[in-house]
Structure 1
Amino acid sequence: MNQLTHLNAQGEARMVDVSDKKITQRTAAACASVTMQANTLNMIVEGGHPKGDVLATARIAGIMAAKRTSELIPLCHPLMLSKVEVELQPDAQLPGIRIHATCKLAGQTGVEMEALTAASVAALTVYDMCKAVDKRMVIGNTYVEEKTGGKSGDWTYASLQSDTQQLAGLQINFFAELREQLGVDNLSLELDDFSGSTLGDLLTHLKSQKQQWHNHLSSPNLLMAVNQQMAKPSQTLKEGDEVAFFPPVTGG
């Protein structure tokens, strides 16, 4: 897990300064899906919806949303996108609509959020247009499929999944002000290095290492995450998990 660049050493939210980054070609592709009843999907495909062409409307909504991402996500930079493409594919196996969004530019920061925003708003538009006839639709499977360009290089969702499966032990990361207080960014542990198998057990083990660690990790407001999802001390850990500790996030 990389550092949380949108937090400073005090845990305050900030917009990242990208002025020193090189201008490179960057692309990102994201996906989402809307699961619905089969007769709802048939109505969309056959063009029988009273509101009009659902897929065309959702496609335009996704493109428009990508261009306005910085107005929707507080810490995103306004970007001059050179390409936004949104594809909506009916899938009888879901049944529902699969959505793929691709964004591209030559710039100093990535376009993952623009692609995610395009896919998400396209899905929301499908939901909005069809909610009167199908109240049980489900929006899901929203994630970045692949990314190219920039300092972190190229990657795909599938390759990241493979890398995670190959990790042994626990990968532990400390963020923002906490890493300054503890004097360490990250460390690795095996599950059998401490007694128990929960996040709380791991925290107890870490606090026992040094008095300084005990002081800073004993805050009742300490935030914890496992595999980039907020977690409670009772959560069970397994080999390959990424664990993160960080102070409360404040505005700024």
Structure 2
Amino acid sequence: MPTWDEKQYLKFADERTRPARELLGRVPLAAPRYVVDLGCGPGNSTALLAERWPEARITGVDSSAEMLARARLDLPGLEWVQADLAQWQPGTAPDLIFANAVMQWLPDHPALLPRLFDLLAPGGVLAVQVPDNFDEPSHVWMRSLPGSWSETLASVRQGPRVLRAGHYYDLLAPLASTVDIWGTRYEHVMTDAAAIVEWVKGTGLRPYLEALPAAQRDSYQQAYLAAIEQAYPPRADGRRLFSFPRLFFVAQR
């Protein structure tokens, strides 16, 4: 996992929180007693859960001490736990495990998703949103940008951990009473190509930058920016559309 910078991540807080709102809107629970925000980050998604269910016990779980420090600062009344998300085990069975934009960082979804589902209380819900942008230009260029850094970054390049919608359905449908699954492609209006680079520096680009020696980072970023300039051309008003597909699924026990 990369080292997280909550300030960089929250530069686009509204855009990053919008999918969490849409995922939450499809959770079919009236009054859950215990809610877990798995991969809570700086707490922007956890705040939505607390707003919807103010009487619930809510726990935010993340592997990043930096992200949790910001979450504790903004939402001191909630419970925050630092843990390895792939191995996390709750002390009490949750009524909701909410996982917004975190599963793409975790391995072995065919084993992980059924394990998480099995942790739920009877009638509980697993709600997941995951970026589905492995084949988008923003991510293709991260791992295939030609240059002196290619050999160094070879170890960062990995196959997509995000499965197809049908695979997730087949994993959860035999276990669940209902599975709601859908995809959305957001078209984020960005001021310029540099803004797109700033966005991905908060998430997908971080492992690549961290793998490079300091002497190569600037040249890599300049080459990446040039590629993004071409991949996301200016629209009629000079702004860029940053196309961002996401996959959602909500499974109830």
TM-score relative to the length of structure 2: 0.24
Looking at secondary structure, tell me which structure has more helix per residue: 2
Looking at secondary structure, tell me which structure has more strand per residue: 1
